[in-house]
Structure 1
Amino acid sequence: MRLEFDEGTLLVRDAPDTVPHVEWDDRVEEYRTQAYRYRTLREWAGDWSDGDDQATLSDGFTHTVEDTARNYPDLALTPTLQIEPRDYQQAALDAWRDHDRQGTVVLPTGSGKTFLGLQAIADAGVSALVVTPTIDLMNQWHATLTNAFGEQLPDGVGVLGGGSHEITDLTVTTYDSAYRYIDEYGDQFGLLVADEVHHLPAPTYLQIPEMTIAPYRLGLTATYERADGNHDRLEDRMGPVVYREAVDDLAGDFLSEYETIQMSVELTAEERTEYDEEYQLYRDYVDSHDFDLWKEQGYQEFLKRTSYDPQGRRALIAKQRAERIARTAAKKLDTLDTLLKRHHDDRVIVFTANNDFAYDISQEFILPCITHQTDTDERTEILERFRTGEYSMLATSQVLDEGIDVPAANVGIILSGSASKRQYAQRLGRILRPTDDRQPARLYEIITADTMESYVSQRRRQGVAT
């Protein structure tokens, strides 16, 4: 039996009929399967780690298994800085090893998932591909990997994405770039590390683990579960959740102590009249069609109808207007002013739901602002000034919710956001990195009373800190 890597798949030549997970390909008159079945096939055939071997297969016959699919090298790396892992980091690494170096680790933001990734790369001893959701995270990983292993790699740490196309034995990339090229490079890495692995179940991104033969796989995230339930797809492609810690398990010892404070404000009389009119128009339409808007399918059906139903379109506009009134309520800004004065000696991040509101806050309160529109150099400069204390406050939309290493923040103020538990947990994680003064972190939510925001806040807070 011969295994060949072929554009993101495995050709299984001269295979017995008992070989699992394969389908007959009439074009080549051989069996074919997805590349991620590589390890399963080698385990079925015998010792998958030794290259060519004689193996007694499950059909009772002895066959020669020729493995030409593997094109990844062994890689002996030792982190330059020998830092003792925290107890939970060591426990997570041990759990991953115990699950044959396949699976996902769920740890709160700020608890050292990247450090765990470095330990896994050193432990696996093979070439590795690190996949990240954004260019900013890719650059952060590249800097970290270079500091940890760069001197041991003759060709350095490779980069695939952001205008770079350099593949080395240790390469970092984005989900978008990996999706484009994984059929070409899927045989060149023995370890796949997926940072923010909850992104992976998207239909296109799921091809990344499917089209690589990597026998070792590590997923990292603070928020594993997805609203659409598609996180269930990860177990087959990446392995199960092998270790999990919640925010409250680590707060105090490894993360900052924290408290969440919800503050409620009222609409002005004029805002209330306009809000009620718009909201009622929206609700009347939804109720007449019996949409379940808290389920993704129900909301998608609502949006679909708005594309061809004029009344539905007006209902959508009414919903957006009502949300904007609640989001930008005048008394919210008064409360924000009070909080910024109260925390003038702290490092404060003000979170909003969209770019326009973030820019409005930036202009009103003279705060530096980071959104998806902020270019990389400017973003880097703002975060560096925030780290050194030159800037003590900044406003942002959703770009800092995930992954970006925000230094030294200890106060978060949510002016608006989605119902996503993931977004809430990530925003909480922005302020939980431990600091020398060990002061408790605070996360404020400013909610407009008797509006949709009350329900949104309730849903996103459920179960996050337990």
Structure 2
Amino acid sequence: MRARVDAALTLDVREVPPKVVERLCRMLSFPNPAYLDRLRLGLNPGAELETVCFVEQRAGELRLPRGAIHVLRRAAAQDGLIVACDDARVLPDTTLDQMQELPLRDYQQVAVDKLAKVTQGTVVIPCGGGKTRVGMGAIANLRTPTLVLVHTLDLAEQWLGELKDKLGLDAGLIGDGEAHPAPVTVAVIQALVRWEPAKLDAFLAGFGLLILDEAHHVAASTFHSVVDRCPARYRLGLTATPEREDGLTALLELFLGGPLVTVTHDELVAAGVLTVPEIHNIETDFTYLYTAAEDYAPMLAAVACDGARNALIVRTVVEEARAGHICLVLSGRIDHCHALADAIAAEGVAAAVLTGEVKRAVRKEVLDEARAGKLPVIVATSLADEGLDLPRLSRVFLAHPGRARGRTVQRLGRLMRPHADKTDAALFDFVDRKVPLLRRHHLERRKLYAEVLGVPASKLGTRKGAA
């Protein structure tokens, strides 16, 4: 049984016994998160399927994600069949010019060497451990035209800056209305998905290495629809948080390959790569009568509008900013961000809002000022949860309830990057203990803090907010 390997695995359906097809459909099907969400909310699933299957049958062919080769071999072996592969992956003749020397830590070099050997895989490194440097190390080592996929303009700007600074490369950009490809191109995924299929396929066929930053997003159709069309010989996924709460973690391996290197927070702290922040749990007096799932959105709106709670947040942030710390205040609501920033500024402390509505040039200016220590407070939405490169950051404030594991790890990781001007780091978690649901969510965050930092949860301090 032969499989063509390019952007995906393709087989002639006539060569695949029906039992093997059935087996593949079973092995490559997963519970549909959208279906489960509707059930959880008491809604009719409607057109949502109970499962999502990553076996596609069309025009006499069977198509599977490229990383499913091991699944295919196991399914075929049960019928005594051997899978032979015809390699049609792309490796352009173009070789990138000589780049600046890029020193790598041991685990980064291991990841780069493994990628060169096995051609695809995922690197799991906590925030601040140098995921971007691994990607640049792969570019320098393989020297093949490279496409870096990101999901925000801020990440794109960071990659462009790092590629120029560390490798001396003037990379191209696709996103924010620009389309300037180059031998190394950074592309915002939302821009590419709007291209016509023929144009997109021609573009993707020009790269020998595909790098997906924040690779856990590959489970989203927006992401894997592009990855699944890219025939580059090499694929590299970079993430700090591979586990997905929607049950689709396995898609990282199906589309990007198995783990190349996994590094823990403990290992990086022991090596002096990361610092260990303190956790301050500050109890609020917020109350709300939560009785059912439909109360959740109104409750979050009430949280953002609660005057006493906001005043507590503002006092805490202002105190830390006046003590010389660079502060990041996080909320899930844009209106809440503006209200907090205005109140902080009214206390005489400079504060800027960072949301998806802020123009690219302004976002860059805000981050540059914070990196230089000239802007003490940034108030941001989830835009800052991933890829925020701000080593000087020493205080993070969770101003809005939440329990998502990946976001919690990312937020803690923001603080763990060392910087010469940072003497200590702390995360302030505002705990709405009088609402049972929100208290449970906090306990889940608290457990995760203890897990990441390697300390008992009992040692994570709590203090009541000032009246």
Return the TM-score normalized by structure 2.
Answer: 0.73
Q: 1:24 to 1:402 in 2, by over 3 A?
A: closer
1:449–1:423 Cα change, 3 Å:
same
Partner of 1:325: 302
Partner of 2:344: 365
What corresponds to 1:388 in structure 2? 372
- Letter in structure 2 aligned against 1:158: G
Deviations along 1:284-306, whole A, 9 cap, x unmatched?
xx4xxxxxxxxxxxxxxx6xxxx
Amino acid at match of 1:261: H
Cα shift at 1:257: 2.6
Q: 1:35 to 1:419 in 2, by over 3 A?
A: closer
Q: Report the Cα offset of residue 421 of structure 1.
A: 1.3
- Counterpart selection for 2:206 from 188, 198, 211: 188
Distance 1:73 1:349, change over 3 A: same
Structure 2: how far apart are the matches of 1:230 and 1:436? 39
Structure 1: stretches of 5+ with no match in the other structure: 41-57, 287-301, 303-315
Aligned to 2:134: 116
Does residue 411 (structure 1) correspond to residue 395 (structure 2)? The answer is: yes
Deviation at 1:88, TM superposition (A): 3.0
Query: What's the offset of the Cα at 1:245?
Result: 1.9
Please tell me whether the aligned partners of residues 362 and 395 of structure 1 are also in contact (alpha carbons under 8 angstroms): yes
Out of 237, 254, 259, which is 1:236 matched to? Answer: 254
User: Residue 190 and residue 12 in structure 1: after superposition, are their counterparts in 2 closer, same or farther (change >3 A)?
Assistant: farther
Displacement of 1:173 after TM fit?
Answer: 0.6
Counterpart of 1:157, as a letter, is A
User: Structure 2 residue aligned with 1:460, among 430, 436, 445?
Assistant: 445
State the shift of 1:222 in Å.
Answer: 1.0
CA gap of 1:120–1:69, structure 2 versus 1, over 3 A, is closer
- Secondary structure of 1:160's match? strand
Aligned equivalents of 2:353, 2:238: Cα separation in 1: 28
- Given the superposition, is the C-alpha separation of residues 425 and 78 from structure 1 closer, same or farther in structure 2, using an over 3 Å criterion? farther
1:159 maps to what in 2? 173
* CA distance, structure 2, for counterparts of residue 391 and residue 424 of structure 1: 24
Partner of 2:38: none
Structure 2 counterparts to residues 124-135 of structure 1, below 5 A: 124-135=142-153
Paired amino acid for 2:296:
K
Q: Give the match's secondary structure for 1:350.
A: strand
Equivalent residues of 2:56, 2:64 under 8 A apart = no
Say if 1:185 and 1:336 are closer, same or farther in 2 by CA, change over 3 A: same
Structure 2 residue corresponding to 1:422, chosen from 379, 400, 406: 406
Count of paired positions: 395
Cα gap change, 1:11/1:218 in structure 2, threshold over 3 Å: closer, same or farther?
closer
Given that residues 65 and 254 in structure 2 are in contact (C-alpha distance below 8 angstroms), is that contact kept between their aligned partners in structure 1? no
Corresponding position of 2:36: none
User: Aligned equivalents of 1:87 and 1:71: distance in 2?
Assistant: 27
Contact 1:36 1:213 in 2 (8 A): no
- Which one has a bigger Cα radius of gyration? 1
Deviations 1:52-111 (A, max 9, x none): xxxxxx799xx9x8x87746234245541x34212332333344445x131111111122
| 1:337 and 2:315 aligned | yes
- Tell me the distance in 1 between the aligned counterparts of 2:91 and 2:110: 31
Matched ranges for 1:3-402 at <5 A = 33=63, 36=66, 70=90, 72-80=92-100, 82-97=101-116, 100-150=118-168, 156-181=170-195, 182-251=200-269, 253-267=272-286, 272=287, 275-276=288-289, 279=290, 283=291, 286=292, 316=294, 318-327=295-304, 328=306, 330-331=308-309, 333-334=311-312, 336-344=314-322, 345-366=324-345, 367-402=351-386
Give the Å deviation of 1:337.
0.4
Tell me the distance in 2 between the aligned counterparts of 1:242 and 1:92.
6
Change (3 A) 1:77 1:227: farther
TM-superposed deviation, 1:460: 3.5
Q: Give deviations 1:351-374, integer Å, cap 9, x for gaps.
A: 122111111111111022212211
Q: CA deviation at 1:186?
A: 3.1
- CA 1:70–1:349 in structure 2 vs 1: closer, same or farther (change >3 Å)? closer
C-alpha contact 1:411 1:441 (8 A) present in aligned 2: yes
Cα RMSD (Å) of the superposition? 3.7
The runs of at least 4 consecutive aligned structure 1 residues that moved more than 4 Å come to 2-6, 8-13, 15-27, 30-40, 148-151
Tell me the alpha carbon deviations over residues 327-380 of structure 1, each in whole angstroms, 9 at most, x when there is no partner.
535145235404522442111111122111111111111022212211112221
Change (3 A) 1:450 1:377: same
Partner Cα distance (1:38, 1:414) in 2: 39
TM-aligned CA deviation for residue 237 of structure 1? 1.6
Contact 2:213 2:237 in 1 (8 A): yes
Distance 1:407 1:375, change over 3 A: farther
Per the normalisation by structure 1, the TM-score is: 0.73
Measure, in 2, the Cα distance between the counterparts of 1:69 and 1:129. Answer: 15
Q: Distance in 1 between matches of 2:426 and 2:352?
A: 20
Task: In structure 1, give the amino acid aligned to 2:261.
Answer: Y
SS of aligned partner of 1:116: helix
- The CA distance in 1 between the partners of 2:144 and 2:65, in whole Å, is 17
Q: 2 CA distance for matches of 1:463 and 1:111?
A: 19
Supply the distance in 2 between the matched residues of 1:239 and 1:319 (Cα, whole angstroms): 37
Q: Which amino acid aligns with 1:167?
A: P
**Percent identical:** 26
Q: Distance in 2 between matches of 1:59 and 1:179?
A: 32
Residue 164 of structure 1 and its aligned partner are, at CA, apart by 2.2
